[in-house]
Structure 1
Amino acid sequence: MSDVAVLTNTAVAVLAAVVLIVRFRVNPVIALVIGSVYLGLAVGLGVEKTVETITAGFGEIMVDVGLLIAFGVLMGSILNQSGAIRRLVEHLLNTFGPKRLPYTMGLAIGTVLQSIFLDVLLVISAPLARKLAPRIGKLGTARMATAMAIALECGIVFTVPGVASLALAGLLNVPLGKMLLFGLLLVIPTIIISIAIMTFLFRRGFWNEAKDEDHTFVAEEDREGEPDDEEAAPAAGTGGTAPTRNSGSEGTDRQSSTVALAKRGQKEFPLLLLFAPLLTSLLLIGAGAILQILEIEMPWLQLLGEPVIALLIGLIGTALVTRAAIGQSRVEEAITIGFKESGQILILTGVGGSLAATVAAAGLGDILGGFFSASTVAPLLVVWAIAAVLHIAVGSVTLSAITAAGLLAPIAPAIGLDPVLLALAAGAGSLFMVHVTSNTFWLLQSLLGQSVRGALKSVSVGVSVASVVAILLILPMSLLF
C-alpha cells in the first residue's frame, strides 16, 4: 500500500474516533477500538492480524504499567481516606504563608500528591483552596483557581505516578525512573512560570471579581465547619470580620481537629509518617534510575528500585500506617474505592496501546521517520500539536496524550529521538485548552466559586499557558539529551 494511503487511513481512523466521541457520545474505549479495527483492515493487515495486533497492544501496555497504575491509585485512595491531603494543605499555609500559597500548593499537588486519582484530588483540595483564597488578599480566588488547574493537569502528565505519565512511559518504553527524573525537571519550572505569568495577567486587569466569581454553588458548603452562633458572637462584636490566623488560632484548630479525630476513634499521626511510604517508593525508583544511568551494580537496590516493587512497598507501607491511624475497615473501604477508580484508567490506557500497536503495524513509523529524519525538534512540535487538537476535540488529557504519542512512537528510534522527550511533548500538548468538554473544567468552575467566564480564564487560559511553557522548555532539552 502506498504511503499516501497509509497516512490517509490513519488520519481517518483518528478523526473517526474523535467524531464518535464528540458528536455521537460514544465511550472513548469503544471509539478507539473501532478506530483500531478500521485502520488494521484498511491498510491490509487482515482480520486475524488486526485482532491479534489490537489485543497484543492492549496486553503489552498492561504488562508495563497495569500494576503501577493500580498501586498508585490505591495509595492515593488510602491517603485520601486518612485526611492526609487536608492536613498537608493546612501545613503548607502555616509554613510558607498566604502570599506563597498558590506556588506551594501548586507544587505539592503537581508532584507528591500525584498518586491520587485526578477527580478525587480535585474534590478534596478544591474546597481547601477556596477557603484559603481570601487569606491571599485581592485576586485570591483567581490565583488559587489557576494554580490548582495548572498543577492538577501538569502533574497527571509529567509526574510519576500520575496516571497519564505512567501510561506514556509504558507506551513509549521509557524506564519509569527516567520518566520520574525528567518529569520533575519539567513540571517544577512549568508550574512556577505558568502561575507567575497568570498572576501578572490577573494584576493587569485580566480578572474581574464581579463577573468572574460566583460563589452561589458553594456558599452553603463554605459555612460548614464555621463557628456556630455562640462561638461567632465575639467576632460579631468586632464588626463581623473573620478572625485572622495566628498562633492561638492554629493551636485551637489543631485541638479541634484532634478532638474530632478522637470522636471517630482515629489517631492524628504525624503528617510525614503518613506520606513516608509514598516518598520512600519514589526515592527507590529514583535511586534505581540513577544506578542504571551510572551503570552501577547493586542488585539489592536495583530490585527495590524496580517500579513495581517500589510502589508495592509504598502501598503496603501506606496501608499499614493508615490502618493504625483510621482503622482496618476504613482502609478496606479506601481500597474498594481505589479499585473502582483504577478500572476505567486501565482500560483506557490499554486501548490507547491497541491503537498505537495498530499504527505501528500499518508502517506509519517508517513513513514519518523519513519526513523527520533531519530534525528532532519537528516531531516534538508535531506530537504537541496533535495532542493539543485531540484534547480540544475530546476533552481528555490522558486520551489525547496517549493517542498522539502512539501515532509518533514508531519514529523515535528511526531518528534517534529519546522517547522520554516524545512522552513529555505529548503530555504538554494534551494540556492545551482545557475547556467545556472536560469534566475537570466544570469541577474547577463549580468547586472554586467561579463563573463560567472566570473558569475560561483561570482554567482554559491558565493550563494553555502551562502547555506552551512546557513545550518551550522541552525543545532545549531535546538539544541537550
Structure 2
Amino acid sequence: MPLVIVAIGVALLLILMIRFKLNGFIALILVALAVGIMQGMPVNKVIESIKNGVGSTLGSLALIMGFGAMLGKLLADCGGAQRIATTLINKFGQRWIQWAVVLTGFTVGFALFYEVGFVLMLPLVLTIAATARVPLLYVGVPMAAALSVTHGFLPPHPGPTAIATLFHADMGKTLLYGTLLGIPTVILAGPVYTRFLKSIDKPIPEGLYNSKKFTEEEMPGFGVSVGTALVPVILMALRAIAEMILPKGHPFLAYAEFFGDPIMATLIAVLIAIFTFGLNRGRTMDQVTDTLVDSIKIIAMMLLIIGGGGAFKQVLVDSGLDKYIAGLMEGSNVSPLLMAWSIAAALRIALGSATVAAITAGGIVAPLIASSGASPELMVIAVGSGSVIFSHVNDPGFWLFKEYFNLSIGETMRSWSGLETVIALCGLVGTLLLQYVV
C-alpha cells in the first residue's frame, strides 16, 4: 500500500506540473502534504516533516549553490569563460575543433550552470561554425554534451549536489567518480554521436554569432581563468584522495577535510575570484557586489524546488517508507543502481525537469542505500544520469536547443534528445561497472 500511495503522489505531481503548469516548488509541497496524510501521519507531523526536510536539504546546499553561482557569474562577467574557450580553440586548430569545444564545455561546465554555460558558449560555437564552415551541430552537439554531463554527474551542479546531500554521499568522491565516468561519456555523446547527425546541416541563425565579445585587454589570462574556476574541484579532489590514502588521525587529513569541504572550497574560490575576476581587472567593489547579487537570482527558484524535493523526501522517510522499502529489498536481486536510474529516468521523461526528476527519485530510493549497502556516490551518479534521459517537448532545454540551432522538432529529437539518452545510458553502464572496483 505505501508504494501505491507514492505512485499516487508522483501521478499528482505530474498532473500539477504538466496539466496545470503549477510551479515545481508549490507542486512538491502540495504532494508532500497529500502523501503524508494518505500515509496516515498526523497533520501537525506532516508540517513538521516538511519543515525539517526543507531545512536539512538546504542547510549546506544553499551555501554551496550560492557560492557556485557567484563563481560562475564572476567568471562570465569578466570574460574568463571566453578566454578559456578561445585559447583552447586556437591551440587545437580546425581539425580538432570538436575536441576543443568538448574540453571548453567540460572546463566551463564545472563552474557554470547548464543554461548559463549554454548561452555563454553559444556565440563562440556559432562563430566557429561560420568561420570553419562546418555544420552547426558538428560543434554544437559536443558543446551541449559536455555541459549536460557536468550538469548531470558533477557537483556543485544542483541535481548531483542535492542528491549527494540526500544520500549523505561524500562530495569529493562523487566528483572523482563523476569525472571518471564523465570523460568517456562526453566523448561518446559528443564527437562520436555527431557522426550520426551528418544529414542535419542547418544554416546559422543570422546575427547570433555577431554578438559583442570581450577584447583581448578586457579578458584575464588563461591560467588565471582556469585556475580560479577549478579551485573548488581541486580542493575537493585533494580531500577525497587524502581520505583514501592517509590513515585516520594523520595531521594533514584534518586540513584536507577542512579546505576540501564543499562549502569551504567554493567560498575560497569566490574570494579568489573577487580579486582575480574583479578587483584585479579594474572593477570596483560595488560592481563586484552587483555581480554577486545578480548571481543569486539565477538559483533562487532552483533552491526552492530542491527544498520542496527535500520536503517530499522527509515525508516519505517519516511515514516509514524507508523501512517498508528496506523490507521489500531483503533478498532482492535487483541492482539498487539500476532501480535508482530507472525511477529517475521515468520521472525525467514524464516531468521534463532533470533537477525535479533527480530530487524526487532521490527521495524515493534513498532507503535503498542503507538496506543494500550500495555506494552512495555511485547512487548519486545513477540518479543523475537517469534524470537527463530523452529530453523532449516538456523540457525547456529541448526548446532552447531547437531554437538556437534552428532545428525542426524531429531534428531536435534526433540530436538533442539522442545525445541526452546516450549520456543517461553511459552513466548507467558506467556505475554498474564501477561498483565492482570501488
Shift of 1:61: 1.2
**Residue matched to 2:367:** 410
**Residue matched to 1:236:** none
Structure 1: gaps (5+ residues) = 226-252
In structure 2, what residue type is equivalent to 1:220? G
**Residue matched to 1:79:** 75
Structure 2 counterpart of 1:325, from 281, 284, 287: 281
In structure 2, what residue type is equivalent to 1:169? A
Shift of 1:136: 5.4
Q: Does 2:209 correspond to 1:222? A: yes
- Alpha-carbon spacing, 1:88–1:7, altered in 2? closer, same or farther (3 Å): same
Whole-angstrom CA distance in 2 between matches of 1:83 and 1:116: 13
Q: 1:127-158, CA deviations, whole angstroms, 9 ceiling, x for partnerless residues?
A: 211221245555x3122222222222211121
Shift of 1:223: 4.5
SS at 1:25's partner residue?
A: coil
> For the aligned residues, what is the CA RMSD?
2.1
Q: Is the 8 A contact 2:80 2:220 kept in 1?
A: no
Q: Equivalences for 1:51-70 in 2 at 5 Å? A: 51-70=47-66
Shift of 1:376: 7.1
Q: Is the 8 A contact 2:98 2:191 kept in 1?
A: no
Whole-angstrom CA distance in 2 between matches of 1:295 and 1:49: 44
Q: Is the 8 A contact 2:52 2:311 kept in 1?
A: yes
**Residue matched to 1:22:** 18
Structure 2 counterpart of 1:149, from 137, 144, 149: 144
TM-score by length of 2: 0.93
Q: Equivalences for 1:69-468 in 2 at 5 Å? A: 69-134=65-130, 138=134, 140-203=135-198, 207-209=199-201, 213-215=202-204, 218-223=205-210, 257-258=215-216, 261=217, 266=218, 268-296=219-247, 297=250, 298=252, 299-323=254-278, 324-328=280-284, 329-374=286-331, 378-468=335-425
SS at 1:98's partner residue?
A: coil
Q: Does 2:20 correspond to 1:33? A: no
Shift of 1:300: 2.8
Q: 1:339-362, CA deviations, whole angstroms, 9 ceiling, x for partnerless residues?
A: 111211211111111111111222
Whole-angstrom CA distance in 1 between matches of 2:111 and 2:347: 25
Whole-angstrom CA distance in 1 between matches of 2:42 and 2:261: 38
Identity %: 27
Aligned length: 432
Shift of 1:480: 2.5
Report the more deviating stretch, 440-449 or 118-127: 440-449
Q: Is the 8 A contact 1:111 1:159 kept in 2?
A: no
Shift of 1:410: 1.0
Q: Is the 8 A contact 1:129 1:144 kept in 2?
A: yes
Whole-angstrom CA distance in 2 between matches of 1:410 and 1:111: 34
Q: Is the 8 A contact 1:127 1:448 kept in 2?
A: no
Q: Is the 8 A contact 1:98 1:135 kept in 2?
A: no
- Alpha-carbon spacing, 1:223–1:168, altered in 2? closer, same or farther (3 Å): same
Whole-angstrom CA distance in 2 between matches of 1:376 and 1:475: 14
- Alpha-carbon spacing, 1:368–1:257, altered in 2? closer, same or farther (3 Å): same
Q: Is the 8 A contact 1:33 1:355 kept in 2?
A: yes
- Alpha-carbon spacing, 1:272–1:77, altered in 2? closer, same or farther (3 Å): same
Shift of 1:441: 1.6
Shift of 1:316: 0.4
Whole-angstrom CA distance in 2 between matches of 1:479 and 1:366: 27
Greater Rg by CA: 1
Q: Is the 8 A contact 1:71 1:312 kept in 2?
A: yes
Whole-angstrom CA distance in 1 between matches of 2:419 and 2:193: 6
Report the more deviating stretch, 298-307 or 36-45: 298-307
Whole-angstrom CA distance in 2 between matches of 1:193 and 1:208: 18
